[in-house]
Amino acid sequence: MRDEWIYKSGVGSSSCSCGLKKDGVPDLALIHFSKPAVWTACFTKNRCAGAPVIHAKSLLKRNGRASFLLINSGNANAATGRKGLDDIDFLTKNIGNLSGVDPNEIIVSSTGVIGEPLPKELIADAIPELLQNCSDFDESVARAIMTTDTKSKISRMSFESCGRNFHIWAMAKGAGMIHPHLATMLVFIITDFPLRQSGMHGLLKEVMDYSFNKISVDGDMSTNDSVFLFSIGESRSEISDFDFKNALLRVAKELSQQILEDGEGVHKVVNIFVKNALSVDDAKAAAGRIANSELVKTAIYGEDPNWGRIYAAAGASGAQFDPLSVSIFFDDKPACENGVKSKRYDETAISKIMKNDHFSITIDLGAGTASYNMFTTDLSYEYIKINASYRS
């Protein structure tokens, strides 16, 4: 399915298999903006950031314009030292020489195994083919960026602002090492809404705080995580950023849910809602500790209403509250009230709730009025199996 607006806006794409993956599936994608897009990005907080993150950060400081986006899977180009950056320079100059575009307008993004040198020659050999086939916009690029994902992840949105129609198209990859700030996710968002480069980062960061930074599959954080936002809009007369932000938030939330539901070995997605905390920071701390607790996540997988694990995780979070004020609910069914097993506890009813693919766990700390929620998943045998054989 091709979105006509993105094609008519002069955005092209192509993908191929260049040999980075053993099974011969697509592993390389190229997106071309015929008129340079303004862009911004949010990156992983991991101190051991991969070469593509370091390179993209430097581009953003120097330029903020993008003509090409080259994305590969199968190799993260992380923990590769100075050579990793040199390999990116080699590839951007290669594309620049063939296309006549300034290498400073070429972004490289990578995902895959950490610690292996990037096979730059394999990628370089495929670039002429990618350039030649970049006249159309082909959503197969979303498959080329997958690693342990089982399905491609795309979201699209049309919206109106001040009587004009605008669009957003976005794709993502991510299934494991999913955790706030960010995850082993790559997200690429393209819009024809006209954005000023100076205000893009704050807008993207705000949207991320309510979407990508609220999900956790395994509590881990990778080296290459990036969320990119590209604007190819041309005029700004009386246009409201508020309308765009609402549309972008819907797209980001949809992609977040797609990432969660395709998480490695995931069977269940659970909303962890902490309320009546002393502060938002306390609510975040408690929600994060519960969402990332392996004991809680395995209980979710086993459909075991072991609310004591939730109670213990909240207590270990650093949040300030009176243990005798805590109540815990599975959807609307009480498990714990005032710090002890609820007199209304119905294990059969709660077990039935836990059999659902989606449900919520509410933790009332009884300490204040602040609240925060996160989405987490179960931790299954399949997760271990996938990650035990990831490189083989």
Beta-carbon neighbour count of residue 128 at 10 Å? 12
Q: Using DSSP bridges, classify how beta strands 215-216 and 370-377 pair: parallel, antiparallel or unpaired.
A: parallel
Token pair recorded at residue 228: 């990119």
Query: What is the spatial distance between Cα 216 and Cα 174, in angstroms, rounded to a whole number?
Result: 11
Q: List Cα–Cα distances, 318 to 314, 323, 356, 370, in angstroms.
A: 8, 12, 31, 15
Identify the DSSP state of 32. E
Contacts of 16 (CB under 8 A, 6+ apart): 26, 28, 126, 129, 130, 133, 144
DSSP secondary structure code for residue 177 in this structure? S
Token pair, residue 100, equals 């006549």
Residue 285 contacts residue 186 (beta carbons within 8 Å): no
Report the C-alpha dihedral over residues 94, 99, 105, 109, rounded to 10 degrees: -50
Question: What is the C-alpha to C-alpha distance for residues 224 and 48, in angstroms, rounded to an integer?
Answer: 9
Catalytic residue among 44, 147, 148, 184: 184
Element containing residue 268 per DSSP (H, E): none
Alpha-carbon separation of residue 1 from 30, 42, 139, 156 (angstroms): 18, 28, 7, 11
Per-residue burial over 27-65, b = 16 or more CB atoms within 10 Å of its CB, e = otherwise: bbbbbbbeebbbbbbbbbebeebbbbbbbbeebbeebbb
184 noted as active-site residue: yes
- Partners of 72 in beta bridges: 28, 110
HSE at residue 78, side-chain half, CA atoms within 13 A, is: 23
Please list the active-site residues.
184
